[in-house]
Amino acid sequence: MSGATTSPARPTIGVLAVQGDVREHLAALGEAGARAVTVRRPSELEAVDALVIPGGESTTMDKLVRAFELYEPLRKRIADGMPAYGSCAGMIMLADRIADARPDQQTLGGIDMTVRRNAFGRQVDSFEEDIHFTGLASTVRAVFIRAPWVEETGDGVEVLARVEEGPAAGRIVAVRQGALLATSFHPEVSGDHRVHAEFVEIVRTHQ
């Protein structure tokens, strides 16, 4: 159990602050009705109701959570049911399996899926697209930056969004399993905070 004492209406949600677009996630969570804080230490992790794992570089993030002595505490809290949302590299960190992992790369796990790193190509292949996201009334402007995609999911994983155009049409780019949410894209940079609002609601219902 977390040590957070905030009310269910305004949960405390941490943003893993070892790499990536931390500030943008903090702002989006605040707009979505949460109390957003940074997490760099195990004691800070214990004080939150839920966690966002931002984008970045997944192999570097894996090394950094170990350097900050966060790897085992993160795995334990996720396994114990803490809600978590991962975007881009955060999606990779929440995957049980990586299709093209480096030999020493590990994940935090939690979602029964296989992801492929940099599946859409290099930085120059980054793109934006309007996609339909289950539960949201209108399309989401999805920003993909050296993004992964989901190659396969287990029976307990709900597919929330897929690429709709181009050679990657049909590829899975958003999933949910219980209190865990993951997207290939970066909703924190689009100005549309509905995905964050969905996560905040997940946190509220799991408190």
Query: For the residues of the chain, what is the DSSP string, one character each?
Result: -------TTS-EEEEE-SSS-HHHHHHHHHHTT-EEEEE-SHHHHHT-SEEEE--S-HHHHHHHHHHTT-HHHHHHHHHTT--EEEETHHHHHHEEEETT--TT------EEEEEETTTT-SGGG-EEEEE--TT-SS-EEEEESS--EEEEE-TTPEEEEE--SSTTTT-EEEEEETTEEEESS-GGGTS--HHHHHHHHHHHHT-
Catalytic-residue membership of 188: yes
Annotation says 186 is catalytic: yes
Which one is catalytic: 186, 193, 196, 198?
186
Catalytic residue (one of 188, 193, 196, 198): 188
Catalytic residue flag (residue 164)? no
| Residues tagged active-site | 88, 186, 188
